[in-house]
Amino acid sequence: MKLILPDGKVLEVADGIRGRDAAKAIAISLEKKALAFSFEGDLMDLDAVIPGDGHFAIITDKSPEAKDLLNHSTSHLLAQAIQHLYPGVLFGFGPSIEDGFYYDMDLPVTLSEEDFPKIEAEMAKIASKNEPIVRKDITREQAAEIFKGNPYKLELIKEIKEPISVYVQGDFTDLCHGPHIPSVGFIKHFKLLSLAGAYWRGDSKNKQLVRIYGTSFYSAEDLTKYLANVEERKKRDHRKLGRELGLFMISDYGPGFPFWLPNGLVLRKTLENFWYDIHTKEGYVFVQTPIMLSRELWEVSGHWFNYKENMYTSTIDEKEFAIKPMNCPGGMLVYKNSLHSYKDLPIRMGELGLVHRHEASGALSGLFRVRTFTQDDAHVFCTREQLNGEIIRLLKLFDKIYSIFGLDYHIELSTRPEKKYIGDIAVWDESEKILAEACSQSGRTFKVNPGDGAFYGPKLDFKLRDSMGRIWQCGTIQLDMNLPERFDLSYIDQNNEKVRPIMLHRAIFGSIERFIGIITEHFAGAFPTWLAPVQIQLLPVNPSIHEAYTEELKDFFQDNSLRVHIDDSEEKLGYRLRNSQMMKIPYTLVIGDNEVKDGTVTYRAFGQKDQITVSKDEFLKLIQADIKEKRLQKAE
């Protein structure tokens, strides 16, 4: 058997050997470090038999895949400890996630975070035994017997194709596809983080289970760094900063329906104006479609049958209507309102559209999960020949916008769902290929996210990484050959014949609300000057003496379209300076005798200690350049 190693060398080994044996053949020291192996891109347990000739790599704790392996195995360790401490528990899912793992469970007792030390101690006790984690392939009947008292596992067993795999470690057995690390002894540096409620399989009609979140690392140092990061995230929580900075509020009279406060509305409108400006330059036209439309429209679009449980409905004049959960059908009607020639295409049609979706009350979270939000939507109608160029053009636009906010990202190609989808599979396959080719031609890498496409087409999802290292799903480009067919959209081609346009759905922020929540935490509330609700804070040293010049400066800056505020309270200057810093205002200007006499300003940029004195015209040029260039750092 010939194995192609990562460095291109070929290792010849006997047929039917395990991954562990191949690691030993490469180097004895490698066997000791080995956690699993990769064969033709698929991860496999270290003791699995290598299928045949192909690309082979050993996974160690330095490999990109190692983090998921450890966290998934730690979720099983958590479940084993819970089983020891709370007999009668029923387990649901226990996957690894971006920053750790969780396990959903139906517990016979009520848990709190105060129970975490006891659970962690039991986990450490089990891990110290270093029991192997062993995969077993079994039949459906055997699986049903093993999990006969657990309705959650039995439900899953009915849906899994044989052979069904379980993983055994000591006295604990779990239904799992794997792979896992070789033994529980590798799990040494972990922490349980929080508790939450989670409906079984994400369906609010099902029972709510307890979800325990945790994280695990290969070194104590990495765990310590991560926990410090978690504490920093708490300080940056957009709900906390939203209250402190006067951005938004949520009322019990409208759970999931944000109220925008004065500072927040300035921030929001600035973001929207930026969106309109950059899209105008990109050749977009803008529309506004109704919030409520009749059931018939949603039946044509497919939403009524695929999304009805998330829609708000009402009866008007004995006819059913629905508040729009998406803007797309309205955009279809706008396109269909006029005749179109091939010369008109592409049509890039943008809409900041307010939508409503019924989210479970337990899932609501500040601006991150709401029931009403504004999508920065756009629909591009184009010919088949224009499609590739339009996707590439969009990729450049996404990159430009995200870079302005200092947000890194990666792209995932989400393919056809297994069940809820419309259209022919051949059309789906072609659409997925087109998206993949456009990424490749743009020099952008992507990974495939199987089965996560929209019900009407595949999509490119943009996963943003913020300053805290967290990943956010925001932007999307969805290729749709189905809805134009369902809505009978057409244009007249060069031969004077009717042809279907191809449609691209796309959003860059995803939603205005959620994006504001993300950048609030990304910037820790210290927004770049161009976005900041208040850009300049004026502090007269003695309000009664320096008031006239301070008011003159306020008028001067406002006449130059700057957002300025005067703090002329009776508090001491030091207190007002600290307050300006706490409000994270980009520039604080102190106005005293020298400034009045010389016609100058003394400014301090947020986060800096130095106070710099310049003429008011010099300061104006400085801040205007800061805003025009959309700098992420304040000018010094």
| Identified catalytic residue from 357, 371, 514, 604 | 357
Q: Residue 123 belongs to a domain with what CATH number? A: 3.30.980.10
Contact between residue 97 and residue 71 where contact means Cβ atoms under 8 Å apart: yes
Q: Residue 470 belongs to a domain with what CATH number? A: 3.30.930.10
To the query of whether residue 608 is one of the catalytic residues in this protein, the response is: no
User: 98 vs 78, which has greater pLDDT?
Assistant: 78
Which tokens in the block code for residue 212? 């325990």
Q: Per the structure, how many domains does the chain have? A: 4
Give the relative orientation of helices 512-522 and 220-236 as an angle to the nearest 10 degrees.
Answer: 120
| Identified catalytic residue from 279, 356, 393, 459 | 459
| Identified catalytic residue from 379, 514, 604, 634 | 379
175: domain range? 66-236
Q: Are residues 394 and 470 in the same domain?
A: yes
Q: Are residues 15 and 143 in the same domain?
A: no
Q: Are residues 473 and 364 in the same domain?
A: yes
**Mean pLDDT value of segment 171-197:** 95
To the query of whether residue 377 is one of the catalytic residues in this protein, the response is: yes
Predicted pLDDT of residue 634: 60
Q: Residue 623 belongs to a domain with what CATH number? A: 3.40.50.800
Q: Are residues 7 and 91 in the same domain?
A: no
Q: Are residues 155 and 80 in the same domain?
A: yes
Q: Is the peptide bond before 484 cis (omega within 30 degrees of 0)?
A: no
Return d(Cα 321, Cα 324) in angstroms, integer: 9
To the query of whether residue 68 is one of the catalytic residues in this protein, the response is: no
To the query of whether residue 505 is one of the catalytic residues in this protein, the response is: yes
Predicted pLDDT of residue 635: 53
Instruction: For residue range 430-439, list pLDDT tens digits in order.
Output: 888 888 988 8
Residue 589 located in a structural domain: yes
**Mean pLDDT value of segment 383-399:** 93
| Identified catalytic residue from 328, 382, 439, 474 | 328
Instruction: For residue range 271-299, list pLDDT tens digits in order.
Output: 999 999 999 999 999 999 999 999 999 99
Predicted pLDDT of residue 592: 95
| Identified catalytic residue from 83, 375, 535, 537 | 375
Return d(Cα 104, Cα 118) in angstroms, integer: 18
Instruction: For residue range 56-67, list pLDDT tens digits in order.
Output: 999 999 999 999
Predicted pLDDT of residue 529: 96
* Residue ending a domain, choose from 44, 59, 74: 59
DSSP H or E stretch at residue 333: helix 328-336
| Identified catalytic residue from 505, 522, 576, 634 | 505
Which of the four pLDDT bands, split at 50, 70 and 90, describes residue 306?
A: confident
Predicted pLDDT of residue 429: 85
Instruction: For residue range 72-96, list pLDDT tens digits in order.
Output: 999 999 999 999 999 999 999 999 9
Of 106-115, 212-221, 412-421, the one with minimum mean pLDDT is 412-421
Q: What are phi and psi of 454, to 5 degrees?
A: -70, 160
* Residue ending a domain, choose from 519, 548, 572: 519
**Mean pLDDT value of segment 145-169:** 93
Residue 256 located in a structural domain: no
Residue 80 located in a structural domain: yes
Q: What are phi and psi of 606, to 5 degrees?
A: -55, 135
Count of Cβ atoms closer than 10 Å to residue 478 Cβ? 23
To the query of whether residue 67 is one of the catalytic residues in this protein, the response is: no
To the query of whether residue 459 is one of the catalytic residues in this protein, the response is: yes
Which of the four pLDDT bands, split at 50, 70 and 90, describes residue 612?
A: very high
Q: Do strands 491-492 and 536-540 pair parallel, antiparallel, or not at all (unpaired)?
A: unpaired
Helix (H, G, I), strand (E, B) or coil at 36: strand
Contact between residue 21 and residue 34 where contact means Cβ atoms under 8 Å apart: no
Return d(Cα 82, Cα 77) in angstroms, integer: 9
Residue 375 located in a structural domain: yes
Which of the four pLDDT bands, split at 50, 70 and 90, describes residue 161?
A: confident
Residue 103 CB-density burial (10 A; 0-12 exposed, 13-18 middle, 19+ buried) = buried
Predicted pLDDT of residue 418: 78
Predicted pLDDT of residue 204: 76
Tokens 């200057």 label which residue? Answer: 573
Q: Are residues 452 and 503 in the same domain?
A: yes
To the query of whether residue 357 is one of the catalytic residues in this protein, the response is: yes
Q: What is the overall mean pLDDT for the chain?
A: 93
User: 230 vs 557, which has greater pLDDT?
Assistant: 557
Instruction: For residue range 487-498, list pLDDT tens digits in order.
Output: 999 999 999 999
Residue 33 CB-density burial (10 A; 0-12 exposed, 13-18 middle, 19+ buried) = middle
| Identified catalytic residue from 377, 480, 567, 568 | 377
